[in-house]
């Protein structure tokens, strides 16, 4: 940042993002973008940006520009991108990010100068003195390049320097240089860009725990030695299956040391696929992080690690998990978008407009116990957060999308159903028109149903189990499980099996064909499957 710009900012509110200082904040309205609300609150709302979709997808550019007032390069400013060979610098990606921010009135957080990951092997193979010089040179050149650019506001100087137990990470930096590399990196960064806020960044430091306490102690001790540490970054790669951290309390203790805090890489992953319940939990996590930052005056803002599930590091890094961001893969707003929006907008949403009436549902893939319903989606002044499917006044299912698979239906029964849409403020649409479908007889004769259960899964395979339950007595039974391609059943027990393509028909073994009225019997099998995450469930007939 230039000295002139800094003087202007110092005279106003140093914590405000550059854009808010240049364009005075106007009151935000309920339907405004995330950045309009954030600017009105004196905070930034940011996203990590990847260079390839930035170059190739206009929807990506439009949302990144309109919804966020801060960006971080997801990879383009890392060492392997900026100095792949010694003293051969490449700023093409980094400059692309900077140009986008300049064009859109956004501030940039530089990420990251010194890290054990995404650092070329030539660095890792240096001896102690050469490694220290290479680090200082890298910082001088990379941070120095943007030092006079007012858009570049802050740097992650060191990233992920702690082990989970709070000791310093046994990285190649530590092995060669001991703990001194950390203070040296901060001093070099201050020399390279005297105006940038200099941060230490890490994951699993959101709540009060051994790692965050080690970070707290290090920051306090570095500052006591006049090492220029200005800011603490909490990455915040959260997951709904783990509890929500006490982030506000933790932020506050860092703030009380006099440092800025920021959420640098927020995402909230889940085991895929999404459903309405998981989406709602995720939305609460997003909301709570934003509210914590709003409640701590030294928290400058929240950066989300991307914005669309179309481009997220989560599925590549955590097999079986994903859907961690606030837009879906088609750039549709998820409940978590609304949660971030409403938290930034502050207080209860004033939205009283209901979603439009959903289309009449169409039933397909009707089996003895299940059916798929699909309908034309509703629209809303903000966002539709989900749908409920009713049979009369009984809710049969909920869905985040305009389609749902009904399960647990009774064979040989007529179902007359309708759909209702809802939004984040709790407004519900009028009932859709009804549709009626009738389930056929169950496997093995009237009154039997088959229920599938995934028992266990591992890389390349899984164990499944089916329970055949009969309302009236039978002396034989039969059921067919149809899988998507890529699944093969290699072994089965308590049944005899025949396969036709991906349809596997199981009939009773000689000894378990007789099921009394109200009784059940169970068979099992082993499947092989070449995907990742949760193995697919079969369609049962
Ligand atoms: C991740 C990027 O999102 C991926 O594209 C890349 O392959 C690996 O790095 N902590 C960090 C980020 O500080 O730089 C990481 O970003 C995610 C974890």
Q: 217 and 296 share a domain?
A: yes
Q: Which two tokens stand for residue 490?
A: 């290699």
Higher pLDDT, 410 or 298: 298
Residue 350 lies in a domain: no
Q: Answer yes or no: is the C-beta of 156 below 6 A from any ligand 1 atom.
A: no
Per-residue pLDDT tens over the stretch 76-126? 999 999 999 999 999 999 999 999 999 999 999 999 999 999 999 999 999
Supply the DSSP symbol for 153.
E
Residue 327, phi then psi, degrees to nearest 5: -120, 150
On the CB side of 2, CA atoms within 13 Å amount to 5
Domain containing residue 469: CATH number: 2.60.40.290
Taking the CA of residue 203 as reference, the ligand 1 atom at the shortest distance is 10
Task: State which residues form the domain around 281.
Answer: 34-345
CA triple 270-273-278, angle to 5 deg = 50
pLDDT of residue 347 exceeding 60? no
> How high is the pLDDT of residue 446?
59
Residue 374 lies in a domain: yes
Q: 510 and 406 share a domain?
A: no
pLDDT of residue 277 exceeding 60? yes
Task: Using the 3D structure, point to which of 297, 320, 345 is the last residue of a domain.
Answer: 345
- Out of 80, 265, 269, 314, mutate this one to test ligand 1's pocket (max ligand atoms within 8 Å of CB): namely 265
Q: 405 and 471 share a domain?
A: no
pLDDT of residue 14 exceeding 50? no
Q: 417 and 531 share a domain?
A: no
Per-residue pLDDT tens over the stretch 418-462? 999 987 666 789 999 999 999 887 765 557 889 999 999 998 899
Q: 3-class SS at 491? A: strand
Q: Which pLDDT band, with edges at 50, 70 and 90, does 4 fall under? A: very low
Q: 421 and 494 share a domain?
A: no
Which residues are marked as active site?
265
Q: 403 and 520 share a domain?
A: no
CB-based contacts of 51, cutoff 8 Å, min separation 6 = 73, 75, 76, 93, 96, 97
Q: 304 and 163 share a domain?
A: yes
Q: Whose CA is nearest to atom 15 of ligand 1?
A: 74
Taking the CA of residue 111 as reference, the ligand 1 atom at the shortest distance is 14
Domain containing residue 391: CATH number: 2.60.40.10
Residue 218 lies in a domain: yes
Q: 468 and 433 share a domain?
A: no
Taking the CA of residue 312 as reference, the ligand 1 atom at the shortest distance is 3
Residue 21 lies in a domain: no
Distance 47 CA to ligand 1 centre (A): 13
Task: Using alpha carbons, select from 142, 73, 152, 88 the residue that is nearest to residue 114.
Answer: 142
Taking the CA of residue 115 as reference, the ligand 1 atom at the shortest distance is 13
Q: 335 and 412 share a domain?
A: no
Q: Residue 130 belongs to what H/E stretch?
A: helix 128-145
Q: 368 and 477 share a domain?
A: no
Q: 180 and 273 share a domain?
A: yes
Residue 404 lies in a domain: yes
- Out of 232, 262, 305, 310, mutate this one to test ligand 1's pocket (max ligand atoms within 8 Å of CB): namely 305
Worst-scoring range by mean pLDDT, 13-22, 236-245, 388-397, 405-414?
A: 13-22
Q: What is the mean pLDDT of the chain?
A: 90
Q: 45 and 131 share a domain?
A: yes
- Gap between the Cα atoms of 486 and 488, Å rounded: 7
> How high is the pLDDT of residue 19?
34
What percentage of the chain carries pLDDT values higher than 90? 75
How many domains does the chain fold into? 3
**DSSP string spanning 292-344?**
HHHHSTTEEEEEES-SBTTS-SHHHHSTTEE--SSB-TTSPBPHHHHHHHHHH
Per-residue pLDDT tens over the stretch 392-405? 988 888 888 899 99
Q: Answer yes or no: is the C-beta of 265 below 6 A from any ligand 1 atom.
A: yes
pLDDT of residue 26 exceeding 70? no
Residue 356 lies in a domain: no
Q: Answer yes or no: is the C-beta of 385 below 6 A from any ligand 1 atom.
A: no
Residue 357 lies in a domain: no
């Amino acid at each position: 940042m230039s000295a002139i710009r800094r003087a202007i900012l110092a005279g106003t509110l140093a914590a405000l993002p550059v854009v808010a200082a240049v364009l005075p904040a106007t009151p935000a309205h309920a339907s405004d973008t995330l950045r309009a609300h954030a600017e009105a609150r004196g905070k930034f709302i940011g996203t990590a940006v990847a260079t390839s979709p930035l170059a190739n997808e206009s929807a990506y550019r439009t949302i990144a520009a309109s919804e966020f007032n801060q960006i971080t390069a997801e990879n383009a400013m890392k060492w392997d991108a900026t100095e792949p060979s010694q003293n051969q610098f490449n700023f093409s990606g980094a400059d692309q990010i900077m140009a986008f921010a300049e064009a859109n009135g956004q501030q940039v957080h530089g990420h990251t100068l010194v890290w054990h990951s995404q650092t070329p092997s030539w660095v890792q193979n240096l001896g102690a003195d050469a490694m220290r010089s290479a680090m200082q040179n890298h910082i001088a050149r990379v941070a120095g390049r943007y030092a006079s650019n007012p858009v570049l506001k802050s740097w992650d100087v060191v990233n992920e320097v702690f082990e989970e137990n709070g000791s310093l990470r046994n990285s190649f930096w530590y092995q060669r240089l001991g703990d001194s590399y950390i203070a040296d990196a901060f001093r070099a960064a201050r020399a390279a860009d005297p105006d940038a806020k200099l941060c230490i960044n890490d994951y699993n430091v959101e709540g009060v725990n051994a790692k965050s306490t080690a970070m707290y102690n290090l920051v306090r001790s570095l500052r006591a030695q006049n090492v220029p540490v200005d800011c603490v970054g909490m990455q915040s790669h959260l997951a709904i299956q783990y509890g929500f951290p006490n982030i506000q309390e933790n932020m506050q203790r860092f703030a009380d040391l006099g440092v800025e805090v920021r959420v640098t890489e927020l995402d909230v992953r889940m085991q895929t696929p999404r459903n309405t319940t998981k989406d709602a939990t995720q939305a609460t996590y997003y909301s709570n992080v934003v509210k914590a930052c709003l409640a701590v005056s030294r928290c400058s803002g929240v950066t989300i690690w991307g914005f669309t599930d179309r481009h997220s590091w989560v599925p590549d890094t955590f097999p079986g998990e994903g859907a961690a961001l606030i837009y879906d893969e088609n750039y549709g707003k998820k409940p978590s978008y609304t949660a971030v929006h409403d938290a930034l907008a502050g207080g209860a949403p004033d939205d009283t407009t209901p979603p439009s009436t959903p289309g009449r549902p169409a039933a397909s893939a009707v089996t003895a116990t299940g059916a798929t319903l699909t309908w034309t989606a509703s629209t809303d002044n903000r966002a539709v957060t989900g749908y409920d499917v009713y049979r009369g006044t009984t809710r049969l299912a909920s869905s985040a999308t305009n389609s749902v698979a009904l399960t647990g239906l009774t064979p040989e029964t007529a179902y007359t159903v309708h759909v209702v849409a809802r939004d984040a403020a709790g407004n519900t649409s009028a009932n859709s028109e009804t549709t009626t479908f009738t389930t056929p007889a169950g496997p093995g004769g009237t009154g039997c149903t088959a229920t599938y259960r995934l028992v266990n899964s591992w890389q390349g395979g899984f164990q499944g189990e089916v329970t055949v339950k009969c309302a009236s007595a039978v002396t034989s039974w039969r059921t067919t499980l149809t899988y998507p391609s890529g699944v093969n059943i290699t072994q089965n027990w308590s049944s005899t099996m025949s396969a036709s393509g991906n349809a596997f028909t199981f009939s009773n073994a000689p000894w378990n064909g007789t099921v009394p009225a109200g009784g059940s019997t169970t068979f099992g099998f082993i499947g092989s499957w070449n995907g990742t995450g949760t193995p697919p469930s079969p369609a049962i007939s």
